[in-house]
Chain A
Amino acid sequence: MSVTRIEVKDLVVRYGDQVAVNGVSFTVDRGEHLTLLGPSGCGKTTTLRAIAGLEQPSGGRISIDGQTMYDSTERRSVQTEQRGVSMVFQSYAIWPHMSVFDNVAYGLRVRKQSQADIKTNVERALDLVQMRHLADRGASKLSGGQQQRVALARAIAFSPTVVLFDEPLSNLDAKLRAEMRVELRELQRRLGITAVYVTHDQEEALAISDRVIVMNVGVIEQIGTPEEIYNRPRSRFVADFVGSANLIKGKWTGDDLFLAEGGVTLKVVASHKPHGKETEVAVRTAYIELEPRAGDNQVPGKVRQRLFHGDFVQYVIDSAVGPLIVRRPPINLLEEGAPVTVSFSPEHCVLLEG
């Protein structure tokens, strides 16, 4: 059997005159955690819902485990309940008129499992999310975090191989979200689930994914591992949306040379060839040193502002290539007004397509 679990090809989804998803193609491998990342309205949730069969595409093809679920040319579309996928909803969608147990048992009852099997499987699923002690509680009496866990248990209880996650953590507070991230990742690995995960939180996407797809206005901006997305952003949009980066305008002068505005020449890495000469380079705020280092691009500058954030210090440096934002560990603090030499490796100076 091939390693490909889900294949989406040239997917188009329209709402009336608006095109929500405009020709999106990707594959998800067995046991992989793939994240669709993008701002609201970028088409990520629509893509996910199209995979589940909750959204009716107007073009393209979707197949799961080699079976065609939707194909616009064959005029074929399989009903949601027959696709065999599972899903965790942003609102959790916990049924308030059932107990925790009944919520989790729903998929098993639909599949006509025996009473004994249902009990075993529900308990196993509730154990995985540490909610077994609340099995008999009415679902409307749960806190947000507990509802989240029940939604997760319900989604995995009937042992689906594909689970779709629609911003499952976005309604939790920051601390709980960080905790659940760790648990989700562990659970997904342990059960060998193939996961398609939608989020607008770039930190979350980088932390828990095997691969990330960055989307914007209905199309894919970049596909890659979290490291690739972070270190080698392809476009201005990706550099700006994922992590924090300084964008320096200028002219690509061929190979690995870039003439920045202000007349400074930078050595860059051109992993994606720009469309034209006029373009930008991205430099991550975390990769900039404030003292000269051999072999690096070096630009003189002066500290304009210092903001102490606790985990890091953010400086705004007035430099020859314009104002640069630099994040450093909170040690050896520099005073505002102090002269510095900004220094960053060509490796971290990424030419953008423009």
Chain B
Amino acid sequence: MTVQQISIFVENKQGTLLKVLELLKEANIQLVASTIADTVEYGIYRIICSEPQRAFATLKGAGISVAISDVFALTLDNVPGRAADAVRILTQEGIGITYMYSFLYEGKGILIFRTDNPDKTRSVIENNNLSYITDEDLTK
């Protein structure tokens, strides 16, 4: 239901992202998805990748401000409207979404998000039989 996500606290400064990516490259870690929004002061660079634990240790060891956390990962059929359907269910249950991004993986849409109520989100996903992936799906 969840996958591990790496979050990196980056300064809005030239070369910061490159440093992170070079470190992951040297460690031979494959990015699956990543996202960063444009902000004035600082950004949070979020990465879904192969071997998140090793990615975390690599970055941390290099003195990077990094966190690892579980985020929800729903799979959606690759047809219009599936994201709306999923978000509607969460919204109707009063669950707030903190951030969200999506990518295509093996022909399916993957919706990554964090909510303000993880426990409730879990049961809503289960009760509504929403399909999801786990870390194992990304590392196979």
A and B co-occur in one complex: no
